[in-house]
Chains A and B, each alone.
Chain A
Amino acid sequence: MIRPEEIKMSAEETGKWGMVINQDICTGCQACVAACAMENNVTFVGEEDSGYGRSMHWIRIERFWEGEYPEVKMTPNQPMLCQQCGSAPCEPVCPAFATVHSTAESLNLQVYNRCVGTRYCANNCPYQVRSFNWRDYERPEPLPNQFNPDVTVRRRGVMEKCTFCIQRIHKAQDKAKSEGREVADGEFTTACAQACPANAIVFGRVDNPQSLVSQLAHKGHGVKHLEELGTLPNVTYFKGG
């Protein structure tokens, strides 16, 4: 019989890159949403499509309230993005291997040019954080001038989602490698974390117990969303601390 302490965590279960989001200090200013869209060439879908549930944001601020009008109480804002699950429900359902797990980075990758658009991954994502390119969206001048050259521009019929700014991860790793060292904690961060004026988002290595993100994640009152599904998410939320 295996005793609980004998069970070893696999690489997926510990994760590599992770995030801590403090809902108590999030003001809901949407700076992360704007920064993410610019960093990752996320398109703007326009008012009509956005209102119909076709917005493409890789991170969104969820607002909820309690009670009936006028006795309404806001609950803390909840930034929701891909949780980079260790055991991701989106991955096994893709018939074309467009949604795959990166063993090197412990991230869920979306291979845009392999995606045929069955949208099964999005149905199976319990966090509903995947965005589908319903159309070829117009980017009027001068918007095309601010494309990030490190990130693919997606076309219609393709699924996309938060990558934890994998282009930044790779850049930092390449730089560290050329200097013959490891990537230092806090050396780089994702666009959303960088833009957050309240520092409510912290990004880093969760497999390094010394990193800021691990220390925050193990402070004790953090929760992982829908953990009961066994998805092993890599984003920890703080609320009411």
Chain B
Amino acid sequence: MADHKHDAGHAHSEEHFREKHLMLDPLPRGVMNDMVMESMTGKPTWKFWTVVIVLSAIVAYGLVYTWAKMIAEGLGIAGVNRPSYWGIFLVNTVFWIGISHAGTFISAILRVFKAEFRRPFTRAAELMTTFGLVQAGFSVFMHMGRVWLSYWLFPYPNQRMLWPNLHSPLTWDLLAITTYLLSSTMYLFLPLIPDVAMARDRSTGWRKSLYKVLALGFRGTEGEWAHLRNAMNIFAFAIIPVMFSVHTIVSWDFAAATRPGWNSTIFGPYFIVGALHSGMGAAVVVLAVIRSNMKHMDYFIRGEHFDAIGKLMLIISMAWAYFFFNDYMVQWYGGDKWTHQLLHFHEAGPLGWMWFGMLFCNIVVPWAILWNAKWRATPWLVSTVGLIINVGMWFERYIIVPISLTINRMPFTWRMYNPGAEIPLGIGTLALFILLYVLASKVIPLIPVWEVQEGQMAHELKKFGRETVVSVSELE
């Protein structure tokens, strides 16, 4: 077994393993807890306050003021028209729900499959889910003509016995998103309990009172852990079908309609893969930002994690390309003249650059960069790819919603769509997402410390002769 090449490069030495893998580089528990506490409770710098003030200003103008104006004056200040009755509002709804999918994917699917690399960043991804869904909710409510009556969409008992129309994909959508928001928030909360209990024991003042409430009296006894594990296990399995159903139902908003370009049977899985594509891209951006801006995060989030997510991004990009091709090919072969018109308009219309841009961002960029292991382990590079994928996926939704709405079966009504108030509103949701995240990073431990410690306990480096070998024990 004496492989001279390995010996010469010390590729399998203990040092090499420790440096590369978080799971093999354990720190004493107390030290690690303090690191996470410090990253959270450290005195905010001027940089932090600048970011918070700028983001708050954008939210105040983009979201609060513009939305209030739109409620008072009507949707006329936005760019929606006939035939593009849905514009960037719905683009952003689909976009944010897409972003929210990565959290569940990383946290639930990787947990169920016991992918060890997930451990340090499940929390960061779950937070993205919850905050992303909040933006999706804002985007969908702000597009309503009479948002002050939106409670009519909820099934509430009333004297006139009027219920929401359960035939409408929008009703399914609302129920699915609400279910997803509630279950993903609970799923965010469960693994948080041991961490807030840890924070409770290490803080004073208002923090202590807050964490005391959130920790629900968790002391870390055997029984509590057993219950927590059970609950998390149930949720991890149960939330996976919820996640799949949410974006399928979002796709039905389009697929169930009679319009050319929308009425496609492959939209369900195509949307799910698209959601994961943008979601993983967003996750990697968030991780890179956390890593470079928060204390001690370079210990927890390492090149290996970007490498692992990079691989997933590459595979998802391939899957997206497959579904895109399938959707396009079958629609084109269908031979419907309106669909042909529409497909031609996608590529050769005034916004054809967006169609080619989508293919470039979603396929060319990830395939050109993520095949290389060294590049995959470079945080700034992978997060740039993630950002580009998100631009591409936003283009994809823009092509599906307003561009496809431009072409319909009544050529007399064909008209271009020019966004108006959608732009400040969209930027407002983006700013609110970042703001919520920035503020949460000061209150919520972004690293699930107990999960990291658990993983480190399970991992061990063993020596067989001159060869160092990683051994992982089954915990449950």
Contact = CB atoms under 8 A, between A and B. Distances in A.
Interface of A: 49, 52-55, 60, 62-64, 78, 80, 89, 92-97, 114-120, 122-124, 126-128, 131-136, 156-159, 226, 229
Nearest to A52: B81
Contacts of B415: 52-53
A54 to B, nearest CB: 5
A118 B169 CA distance: 12
Contacts of B81: 52-54, 134
B463 interface: no
B145 A115 contact: yes
Interface string B390-420: 0000000000000001001111110100100
A122 B164 contact: no
A116 B145 contact: yes
Contacts of A229: 258
11 contacts: A63-B412, A92-B165, A94-B168, A95-B165, A116-B150, A119-B80, A119-B86, A123-B405, A132-B145, A134-B80, A135-B73
A122 B152 CA distance: 19
Contacts of B256: 93
B170 A117 contact: no
Contacts of A115: 145-146
A63 B410 CA distance: 11
Contacts, number: 141
Given A116-B145, A128-B413, A136 B74 contact: yes
A96 B409 contact: no
A80 B83 CA distance: 15
Interface string B273-290: 000000000000000000
Interface band, chain B = 35 or more
A202 to B, nearest CB: 23
B221 to A, nearest CB: 47
Q: Which of A117, A123, A128 has the most CB of B within 10 A?
A: A123
Given A93-B257, A156-B74, A226 B409 contact: yes
A95 B164 contact: yes
A157 B75 CA distance: 7
The 10 closest A-B pairs by CB, nearest first: A117-B145, A157-B145, A156-B74, A135-B76, A53-B81, A134-B76, A157-B146, A135-B74, A119-B85, A62-B412
Contacts of B169: 93, 120
B171 interface: yes
B149 to A, nearest CB: 5
Given A89-B257, A114-B152, A96 B73 contact: no
Nearest to B79: A52
Nearest to B254: A123
Given A115-B146, A134-B74, A157-B75, A60 B412 contact: yes
Contacts of B75: 117, 132, 134-135, 156-157
